[in-house]
Structure 1
Amino acid sequence: MHNIYLDHAAATPLHPDVFEAMVPHLKEQYGNPSSLHSYGRAAKIALDSARDLVAAQLYCSPNEIIFTSGGTESDNLAIMGIVAASKRQPAHVITTQIEHRAVLSTCQHLEELGHSVTYLPVDKSGLVSIDDVRKAIKPETVLISINYGNNEVGTLQPIEEIGLLLREKGIYFHVDAVQALGKININLLELPVDLMSLSGHKINGPKGIGLLYVNKNVHLKPNIFGGNQERKRRGGTENLASAIGFSKALEMAVFNVNKNQKILNDLRSQMIEGLKKELGDHGFVINGHPNQRLPHILNVSFKQMNKETLLMNFDIEGIAAASGSACTSGSIKDSHVLDAMHLSPELKKGAIRFSFGLNNTKKEIEIAAKKVGTIVNRLRNK
């Protein structure tokens, strides 16, 4: 049986070219970038080259890039770092009810420390209202953190419009773009964004590497202490091989972003048409915004179904999918994203996320849609 991987929003396979770029820095060039001898200098040159390449792809300065362990650390550093550096104490932060847990849990920790947080609602498509953003702003607001593209339903937020509003108000804007990277064009020279979180393993790069873009005019305090790495903003020996891999993956993702958008949109559309063929037009419900969305995420609710039962049956048939974020998909609780979108209990109960990648083929999607339809029909007829 050929296994079909449809969980690319959780992790993507390492691209062979990325692996090849990493190998020398895993085998021969093993020096510490902070060491002063020739091994260290060689490592420092390689790290600087990776940072330069990343900055060139994102249209920012290399000095504005902080390498981290991934999206979660980047989110934590952005939020906690801005609040800690702010003169407004206690501070006020604004986010949405559908953020990744890396943001929501950090904001809950801020509340425990005595700061205040506003969690904005979204409409039934997962879209936040500009008016709600405007109304939530207070004199003590120091930061707004909003996901570019939602990791469960794929809805894209009006980042540029929100950013322009915040520039007028003098409030920092952090965007978690982990899912959006490589799927849409990101130009930090044009986007009115102050901080942005990115991760390597969503774009066929290695796990355990990410970055936080911090605009040169932004001051934040570090979360990790113990060294002067990353311009004193993130202590700890840099993950050199993974930084090299991340930069290579990012270069390929940015270069091919328009082509990849079409590939992923086509796979998504094929899956929808395949499900319609097997289940009929009313045999499932698509969650999220119909147009303002990421190309690789398809969140579908199967009525009269239980997501745990579905996922188990899909896995038996060799289909890997998810019920939500990889950080919470092991939980049997309803998705906080679908809760915020006010989906009915029936739709939440049977919600599945299929997410597509560049290694998927049309034949795989054809087989997957047929198997999913067969499983759903069989379970419904019991």
Structure 2
Amino acid sequence: MIYVDNNATTPMAVEVAEALSQAYQSAFLNPASQHQAGQKARRRLDDTRESILNLVGGEITRFASDRLVFTSGGTEANNLALFGLGGDIPGQVVISAVEHPSIREAAEHLAKLGQSMEVLPVDSAGVVQIDALRQALAQPTRLVSVMLGNNETGVLQPTAEIAQICRENGVPLHVDAVQAVGKIPVNFRELGASAMTITPHKFHGPRGIGALILDDRVKLNPAMFGGAQQLAMRPGTESVELAIGFEVALRLAIEHQAEAEPRMRELRDRLEMLLGELIGPENITINGLDAPRLPHTSNVSFSGIDRQALVMSLDMAAVACSTGSACASGSSEPSPTLLASGADPSIISSSIRLSLSRFTTQAEVDEVASRIFNCINRLRRS
């Protein structure tokens, strides 16, 4: 099986698996316990938390410190951001039209609870229209949430400009950076956001853990109750072992980033070039091609081919890919990202997502292109 569905999840790095094994063998106990064994676990957890913050550009000083709240993953962190930052006082929550379901559906639920929801349109490449944001902020706004890199097309949003506009209007900005961290340089302080979501299973770390990074100035209302852990912002016993795996995966991703980013970009471009040569440039569309993109993501439409049939055919040919977000797997609904971009229905119905990792090889990319070509020919004959 050739795996090109790394935006859904990534295989765990060997070093991370080894670090997890060692952590579990160390028998870390409950870090909230007052005995010596519990306090040993607390010190290791605190050291790991601080290291993760430093790696993503969080600031820890004597006078003010950014905070990191561990969660069960990116979806919980996104929900915690929206309900914790946008749901206590009446006002609007502003999101883009291309957000992940964990943002979009959380905002829709806030609207049912009495908040209003404003959805920012995007251009044909899927980039947020800045003028629409300025207009939206003329109304009382509790929170703006815009992703850094799109999970379906890889298109990057102008988050630095968005953050500046939000600061000028005194509105907190949450950035879903799940697909971007570990692939491109991301510095929380330089980004200028009030909150940022990350999760390690997108960069060869463990599943079951994520984090919400918080600027030291923002107040987060908890979405869960029943404990004082993590300053009561997200109660429950933390997993020291998963936090250790998180930190190791992030450190490795950043250490390899300088060589991995251009290499993934080169392989993605090669894959798109080969598909154009094999299938004909007139028969494929690279969605988001006219915008800056994450280096590892390609969303391709094949003229006259049903996306679901192609993904199933590729699965039989031992290529693992997807039609979009794994959180919508099994759904036959058209891509919200491509719909928001105003793509033609024929483009939407024939698009698949191919996502690489730092472990993807050129031989795999070449073979994927060949197998896609063969599968499309079989589908056209049938």
Q: TM-score, normalised by structure 1?
A: 0.96
8 Å contact kept, 2:45–2:243: yes
Q: Which residue of 2 aligns with 1:9?
A: 7
Show the counterpart of 2:259: 259
1:94 aligns with 2:94: yes
Q: Deviations over 1:210-250 (max 9, x none)?
A: 10011010001111111111122110000211110001111
Distance of 1:190 and 1:285 partners within structure 2? 34
Preserved CA contact (<8 Å) 1:126 1:289 = no
Does structure 1 conserve the Cα–Cα contact (< 8 Å) formed by 2:200 and 2:246? yes
Tell me the residue number matched to 1:185.
Answer: 185
1:67 to 70, 92, 116: 70
- Alignment partners' CA distance in 2, 1:310 and 1:251: 36
Give the TM-score normalised by structure 2: 0.96
Q: How does 1:2-41 map to 2 (within 5 A)?
A: 3-41=1-39
Equivalent residue for 1:375?
375
TM-aligned CA deviation for residue 343 of structure 1: 1.1
CA contact (8 A) 1:271 1:365 kept: yes
1:77 corresponds to: 80
Give distance in 1, aligned partners of 2:281 and 2:190: 41
Count of residue correspondences: 377
Alignment deviations for residues 266-291 of structure 1 (CA, whole Å, 9 cap, x no partner): 11012112212211221211001434
The residue type paired with residue 334 of structure 1 is P
CA drift at 1:81: 0.4
The one of 48, 63, 69 aligned to 2:46: 48
Distance 2:246 2:110 in 1: 30
Confirm or deny that 1:127 pairs with 2:127: yes
Q: Which residue of 2 aligns with 1:171?
A: 171
Counterpart for residue 111 of structure 2: 111
Does the aligned pair in 2 maintain the 1:33–1:41 contact within 8 Å? yes
CA distance in 2, matches of 1:122, 1:84: 25
Q: Distance in 2 between matches of 1:31 and 1:79?
A: 32
Contact 1:77/1:223 (8 A) holds in 2: yes
The match for 1:282 is 282
Cα distance in 2 for partners of 1:239, 1:69 equals 10
What is the CA deviation profile of residues 181-226 of structure 1, one whole-angstrom value per residue up to 9, with x for unaligned ones? 1111111222211000001100100001110011010001111111
Give me the CA root mean square deviation: 1.2
Residue 271 of structure 2 corresponds to 271
* C-alpha displacement of 1:258: 2.1
Please give the alpha-carbon distance, in whole angstroms, between the structure 1 residues aligned to 2:138 and 2:208: 36
Which runs of 5 or more structure 1 residues have no equivalent in the other structure?
A: none
Unaligned runs of 5+ in 2: 61-65
Q: Deviations over 1:276-334 (max 9, x none)?
A: 22112212110014341101110000111111110111000000000000000311111
Deviating runs (4+, > 4 A) in structure 1?
Answer: none
Does residue 1:235 correspond to 2:235, yes or no? yes
